[in-house]
């Protein structure tokens, strides 16, 4: 018989906070989806788009129109107005947000090369105004 292992240390508050962040069905995303639905627009959620370079899962997808919508969180995607970096001597957060921004640009380019239109809205933007902008993009993809 071996020596019993000590109990795992409790998670740090940062780890706990990170795990509690939603990756889907956030309040801004749900508000936007409600506004789109009110406008009579029907969309897919959780739809995977397979590209040669990667698999992308936008927040909202209009499959026939090849329109992908991303609702970007201000902190995670580095909003110029609202992203306040934590004080971090290791530089982890600056690197993390930088990688997220680089990935967002690469995804935009890859989707564009595959014939998709990408619409990105910030979580702080009005759901009504964002939904109207998306409705215009859907109409343009329908008529164009």
| Dihedral angle, C-alpha 112, 117, 118, 119, nearest 10 ° | 160
Contact indicator for 80, 73 with CB cutoff of 8 Å = no
pLDDT band at 88 (very low <50, low <70, confident <90, very high): confident
Give domain status of residue 60, yes or no.
no
Kindly state the average pLDDT of the residues 90-103.
Answer: 90
Contact indicator for 120, 107 with CB cutoff of 8 Å = no
Q: Given this model, what pLDDT does residue 119 score?
A: 98
Domain that holds residue 95: 37-49+67-144
Give domain status of residue 2, yes or no.
no
Count of structural domains, the chain: 1
* Average pLDDT taken over every residue of the chain: 88
83 has pLDDT over 90: no
Tell me the percentage of the chain whose pLDDT exceeds 90. Answer: 65
Give domain status of residue 132, yes or no.
yes
Give domain status of residue 123, yes or no.
yes
Give domain status of residue 9, yes or no.
no
Locate the DSSP E strands across 3-136: 49-50, 55-56, 60-62, 67-72, 117-122
Give domain status of residue 59, yes or no.
no
Q: Given this model, what pLDDT does residue 134 score?
A: 98
């Amino acid at each position: 018989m071996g020596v019993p292992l000590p109990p795992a240390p409790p998670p740090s508050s940062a780890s706990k906070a990170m795990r509690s962040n939603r990756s889907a069905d956030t309040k801004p995303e749900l508000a936007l989806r409600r506004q789109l639905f009110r406008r009579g627009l029907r969309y897919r959620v959780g739809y995977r788009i397979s590209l040669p370079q990667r698999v992308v899962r936008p927040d909202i997808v209009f499959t026939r129109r090849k329109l992908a919508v991303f609702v970007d969180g201000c902190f995670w995607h580095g909003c110029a107005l609202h992203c306040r970096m934590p004080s971090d001597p290791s530089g982890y957060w600056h690197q993390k947000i930088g990688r997220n921004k680089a990935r967002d640009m690469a995804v935009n380019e890859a989707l564009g090369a595959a014939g998709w239109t990408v619409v990105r809205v910030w979580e702080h933007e009005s759901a009504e105004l964002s939904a109207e902008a998306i409705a215009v993009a859907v109409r343009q993809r329908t008529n164009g």
